[in-house]
Structure 1
């Protein structure tokens, strides 16, 4: 009988353990193979130009850290690609430097953490990496044809179009749109399930008709995040719901001058990706408020979402489909929210109602601080000077960068902005604070408060009287 030495066996076991730990192999039809990684190019590739070459890299819970390149002509080649599961396509955009997207590994892992699905990274770096953006745009449309043919094969092998979710970044958002058009214009195939567009590209697409860009009709459900609409992104609404972070343009924490280098150009544009990634975390629920404009949102005119179900206001990102039925009925909705400068990004919203006593009209800004004994949350309502008129309820939106569970003390400061002029006072008959997200929290009030210009006034809030609701 043949006996293998224990030292040789242990050595082979050690090798296989090491390869498994680093994610260097995956099993397909019983054969070991190396991982297929996203195409890595360099700036000199962009400088000389690249011709289109498309790759489909499959990730599942069985090969989460090790991509498997799929055949363009045989989608059933590997048992890892289970066509009865949901399939998410991750589609990058223009790649000036040719390097892989820095967020790619994170989005794959976080998508697989949500459910047992197929994640297909659509790698068209050859074609997207080009110094000439116009060539990349032309290549993108050819890449969309390739993706369409692949999805047709999926459908022929049992996949449902409704189970397909295309997540497109920048130029990749329009690529997803062109794929969707191919199916919706065919009476045989129908519509793909969902397109998520993360700051769709603006250059070469702004003012285009629907057939030449992403459009709300390109999928059964289209959700869009805008973060750089005044530069690299698209301004107008494109989906069933369009989320405008901080108004859709300048993002907190992003450089304001060209001296910051590369980040000056890409920070706002990439923020849409990081907001979507945040939505895949359990502790990141960014509430957005349907509204006609960001100014109206900041003015507190859009704090009610009575028509939305299952919860009053939609949540940004992956799980916005919980509001799908309502959004489809409304056809197109714009929703606004503000963020902090880093993950988890969300702010805590309160509605403030003030009834002034002063007979002369006062103009100014209000700073509110909430204290819980150990921590302080601050909101400065200063996007414009607010009008305070006698006996007239003035409603404002207060956005706090911290979420305090309990409020023991409130501090108010009224400022007119006068430097050399007279100092004014603002007398309040009533101050009311209501949480817009935590309905179980009590509505807090205080009555008869005198605020001097630029002076903090602190008080302990009390539950509001029933007549104040």
Structure 2
């Protein structure tokens, strides 16, 4: 099925003549499990003027305020600060970004800042990877300028980063610590942190558990797009195929779970199906904002986890909530399954144990 989708994507790309050849080469390599070429990052330049940070709140639900050095005061210091960072081949107008903002602001008032780094994301994968730490520096500058290094507000700040955006979040968290002599962001939610280009590199060049007081990792495509090893305070591995957990999602590729923008070209409209396993991390997280029903069980390893299992098979009675409502007092690796269509969360189906809240 993956090879068929790959062929369809390539045909579509040729027909619409949109993606540059190096992007197609990178997609080829990632799907085949071949590390994409990264190259020398020393000459990479990222300009602040090419990035866009847009603020949304209850007063600006649709038409956000583009932040710069002159209007930081528009961010309400009494409210939580939540940053959303997209990934490769994306921008901040993707349906999942709009949906995440909408769901948050339909329930609570907060400062929602979407980070658009698309000039450096919509190029070949290696060049996008090289841009990650430089984009992260500007993200950390924004956070520091907004919070003025206030530990209370930093503790009330979180970043939701998808794929490459998760590593931007992690490195930004490291930069914030450098600027504040060790103060940390409250939370990073990593939505299937990217694997290619980040395996076997030092922790200060990627997301890891020390980049915020609490780092949640949601793994949905470890075999191809995602970062397989645990890297969070807590790591959730979603769905089990054969003896692999967190690498393939039920219902994919037919139902990626995210909205497709009708204004996108053919190439962009094909991407959610191709990226279905990884983009599901975003779909699950968006649903979790209003749900307590993504319940994972703490397990010693994937082999011990059986979908619709009795908890004794994992040697554990600990279950906890994945996503926005994940409590801050949990750690370790948790496993869960989902439905193949919305709603994805199964609730207590197939689990019997003690809920850790």
For this structure pair, what is the TM-score category when the shorter chain's length is used for normalisation?
Answer: 0.7 to 0.9
Instruction: Tell me the equivalent position of 1:425.
Output: none
Structure 1 residues 68 and 74: alpha-carbon distance in aligned structure 2, compared to 1, 3 A threshold: closer
Which structure 2 residues correspond to residues 280-299 of structure 1 after superposition, within 5 A?
280-282=289-291, 285-298=293-306
Contact 1:173–1:200 (CA under 8 A) maintained in structure 2: yes
> Do structure 1's residue 146 and structure 2's residue 155 form an aligned pair?
no
Structure 1 residues 119 and 348: alpha-carbon distance in aligned structure 2, compared to 1, 3 A threshold: closer
Instruction: Tell me the equivalent position of 1:133.
Output: 125
Range moving further from structure 2, 49-58 or 221-230: 49-58
Contact 1:290–1:302 (CA under 8 A) maintained in structure 2: yes
Instruction: Please report how far the alpha carbon of residue 123 of structure 1 lies from its aligned counterpart in structure 2 after TM superposition.
Output: 0.9
Which structure 2 residues correspond to residues 33-432 of structure 1 after superposition, within 5 A?
44=18, 53-72=50-69, 74-76=71-73, 78=74, 81-95=75-89, 100-130=93-123, 132-156=124-148, 160-186=153-179, 188=181, 190-246=183-239, 247-255=245-253, 262-282=271-291, 285-298=293-306, 300=310, 301-302=313-314, 304-305=316-317, 312-321=318-327, 324-325=328-329, 327=330, 332-347=331-346, 399=350
Instruction: Please report how far the alpha carbon of residue 74 of structure 1 lies from its aligned counterpart in structure 2 after TM superposition.
Output: 4.2
Structure 1 residues 336 and 263: alpha-carbon distance in aligned structure 2, compared to 1, 3 A threshold: same
- Structure 1, unmatched stretches of 5+, are 1-41, 306-311, 351-398, 400-434, 440-469
- Cα RMSD (Å) of the superposition? 2.9
Structure 1 residues 438 and 221: alpha-carbon distance in aligned structure 2, compared to 1, 3 A threshold: closer
- Structure 2, unmatched stretches of 5+, are 1-15, 24-44, 240-244, 255-268
Instruction: Please report how far the alpha carbon of residue 67 of structure 1 lies from its aligned counterpart in structure 2 after TM superposition.
Output: 1.4
Contact 2:86–2:163 (CA under 8 A) maintained in structure 1: yes
Contact 2:92–2:116 (CA under 8 A) maintained in structure 1: no
Instruction: Please report how far the alpha carbon of residue 204 of structure 1 lies from its aligned counterpart in structure 2 after TM superposition.
Output: 0.2
Structure 1 residues 73 and 236: alpha-carbon distance in aligned structure 2, compared to 1, 3 A threshold: farther
Instruction: Looking at secondary structure, tell me which structure has more helix per residue.
Output: 2
Contact 1:165–1:192 (CA under 8 A) maintained in structure 2: yes
Structure 1 residues 195 and 134: alpha-carbon distance in aligned structure 2, compared to 1, 3 A threshold: same
1:21-49 Cα shifts (integer Å, max 9, x gaps): xxxxxxxxxxxxxxxxxxxxx98586799
Structure with max Cα Rg: 1
Contact 1:289–1:303 (CA under 8 A) maintained in structure 2: no
Range moving further from structure 2, 158-167 or 243-252: 158-167
Cα distance between partner residues in 1 of 2:247 and 2:183:
35
Q: Which has the higher contact order (CA 8 A, sep 6+)?
A: 2
Structure 1 residues 47 and 114: alpha-carbon distance in aligned structure 2, compared to 1, 3 A threshold: farther
Contact 2:85–2:166 (CA under 8 A) maintained in structure 1: yes
Instruction: Tell me the equivalent position of 2:34.
Output: none
Instruction: Looking at secondary structure, tell me which structure has more strand per residue.
Output: 1
Structure 1 residues 346 and 187: alpha-carbon distance in aligned structure 2, compared to 1, 3 A threshold: closer
Q: Report how many residues are paired.
A: 293
Instruction: Please report how far the alpha carbon of residue 303 of structure 1 lies from its aligned counterpart in structure 2 after TM superposition.
Output: 6.7
TM-score, normalised via structure 2 length: 0.75
**What secondary structure sits across from 1:174 in the alignment?**
helix
